[in-house]
Amino acid sequence: MYLSREEDGILQGDQGETLRRMMEILVALGDIYGAERLVPVRSAQIAGVSFKNIGEAGLEWISDLQGHVAVPSILNPAGMDLERWKEMGIDEDFAARQREVVRAYERLGVTADCTCTPYQIHPDLVRRGDHLAWSESSAVSYANSVLGARTNREGGPSALAAALVGKTPLYGYHLDENRRPTHIIAVDADLKGSDYGALGFLAGRIVKDGVPLFRLRGRPEQDDLKALGAAMAASGSVALYFVEGLTPYPASGSSSQRNDRGNEKSNQWINKNIDKKIEREAAEKIALENKDIDEVYERYPPGDSEMVALGCPHCSRAELERIAALLDGRKARRELWVCTARRIAEASPDLVSRIERSGAKVICDTCMVVSPASERFRKMLVNSGKALSYIPGLCGVEAGFASTEDCISMAEED
């Protein structure tokens, strides 16, 4: 990979040991994936925060680093609500280690908003056409697909390396040639709410690491797109998708190598008269209908779920409003978590108290998958295709899938 004189100096240790090690990570990645050079990033979103996932070795690795991030950088969810961890049943030891992890990142200048939806609270972290180094798979999918930015699915160390150096290797989804549909998925169904998570759950299993283009009947909202992309990133490893008539698409023949700050001009909106070239190039055509979506609910019934968890990815204010309205005048008799970013909860105290009046908990900084607190339950009911994919393997807990309305009804049952 080509390095400028300054970049090569960093690799030789001119700017200290931490930056040398970070540059080594970036160069190794660039060499593996055949990147021509590095490209500046607008922001970084760093995974590897939950002490449940990184353990002592991870904490030591981060604590050892010196210096300050070169671009605005934000954290993925931690293993607990940083304030209400006791209510979650987290023990003192874990809490102490988790706080140390967050402090270690803060010392490097990373903002300690622990969320998988950074675009919901810091819109300035990403603009259309920007190159980014983001880790969390649903955030990567949203940034690439809905916001028209460019990022690979970074690991924690490579995102942190990009944050400290301010650059990432130019390969993968940074390049136009990898941002073309590989599958066209025609969906002949009326979708709403959690149906988008069910659709993503199915589509991810079919396309794996492909780039699907959806033809939908209706017009999904932003939260629907968030759920769709999150589910595909978990059941497959989809990092980019398109929705005909809705999401940005780079025009054929353009090259991202011309312009580091993104190709504003090459991002056009797909319209209903979809480019014939795309139609020819997308290798596979898939048709899904109502019965396919229904089968996801049937295959993962609520059963006797002891816990209900909403907010994967983290709830937007609009989702909190909807949940608050559904819970008004009702009692959550089972454990009910509503996960969101702390900034969203703090900006919506009215909604938080309406939700918590029912007995539900509004949980910040963490989620049902990355916190060890959910592992004490036998079965969890979710409205998210991503949580449905991850909970059995990552938490050792059985998972059921239902609409938000049905999740809340389950939480109400004795």
Q: Which residues bind ligand F3S (CB under 6 A)?
A: 77, 116, 136, 138, 230, 312-314, 339, 367, 369-370, 386-387, 390
Question: Which one, 230 or 288, has the nearer CB to ligand F3S?
Answer: 230
114: buried, middle or exposed (CB in 10 Å: 19+, 13-18, 0-12)?
A: buried
- Residue type at position 267: N
Question: Which one, 116 or 147, has the nearer CB to ligand F3S?
Answer: 116
Question: Which one, 194 or 256, has the nearer CB to ligand F3S?
Answer: 194
Tokens of 309: 């968890």
Helices (H), 222-371: 222-235, 276-281, 290-299, 317-327, 342-347, 349-357
Specify the 3-state DSSP secondary structure of 46: strand
Question: Which one, 167 or 386, has the nearer CB to ligand F3S?
Answer: 386
Shortest spacing between CB 345 and ligand F3S, in angstroms: 14
Shortest spacing between CB 170 and ligand F3S, in angstroms: 27
Shortest spacing between CB 31 and ligand F3S, in angstroms: 30
Shortest spacing between CB 285 and ligand F3S, in angstroms: 29
Question: Which one, 249 or 401, has the nearer CB to ligand F3S?
Answer: 401
Shortest spacing between CB 157 and ligand F3S, in angstroms: 18
Shortest spacing between CB 414 and ligand F3S, in angstroms: 28
Shortest spacing between CB 282 and ligand F3S, in angstroms: 27
Shortest spacing between CB 76 and ligand F3S, in angstroms: 6
Shortest spacing between CB 391 and ligand F3S, in angstroms: 9
Neighbours of 397 (CB within 10 A): 21
Question: Which one, 238 or 282, has the nearer CB to ligand F3S?
Answer: 238
Neighbours of 197 (CB within 10 A): 32
Residue 65: closest CA among 156, 160, 149, 130:
160
Question: Which one, 322 or 386, has the nearer CB to ligand F3S?
Answer: 386
Strands 212-215 and 183-188, sheet pairing: parallel
Question: Which one, 126 or 370, has the nearer CB to ligand F3S?
Answer: 370
Peptide bond into 313 cis (omega under 30): yes
Question: Which one, 10 or 307, has the nearer CB to ligand F3S?
Answer: 307
Question: Cα–Cα distances in Å, from 209 out to 125, 172, 237?
Answer: 25, 12, 5
CA atoms within 13 A on the CB side of 318: 7
CA angle 164–166–172, rounded 5-degree value: 115
Shortest spacing between CB 10 and ligand F3S, in angstroms: 31
Contact 7, 23 (CB under 8 A): yes
Question: Cα–Cα distances in Å, from 145 out to 228, 240, 244, 248, 269?
Answer: 11, 5, 11, 7, 11
Shortest spacing between CB 317 and ligand F3S, in angstroms: 16
CA angle 409–297–396, rounded 5-degree value: 85
Question: Which one, 157 or 385, has the nearer CB to ligand F3S?
Answer: 385
Question: Cα–Cα distances in Å, from 157 out to 49, 62, 139, 160, 317?
Answer: 11, 9, 17, 5, 31
Look at phi and psi of residue 71 and say left if phi exceeds 0, alpha if psi is from -120 to 50, else beta.
beta
Question: Which one, 16 or 396, has the nearer CB to ligand F3S?
Answer: 396
Contact 155, 190 (CB under 8 A): no
The rounded distance, in Å, linking the Cα atoms of 96 and 99 is 5
Specify the 3-state DSSP secondary structure of 212: strand
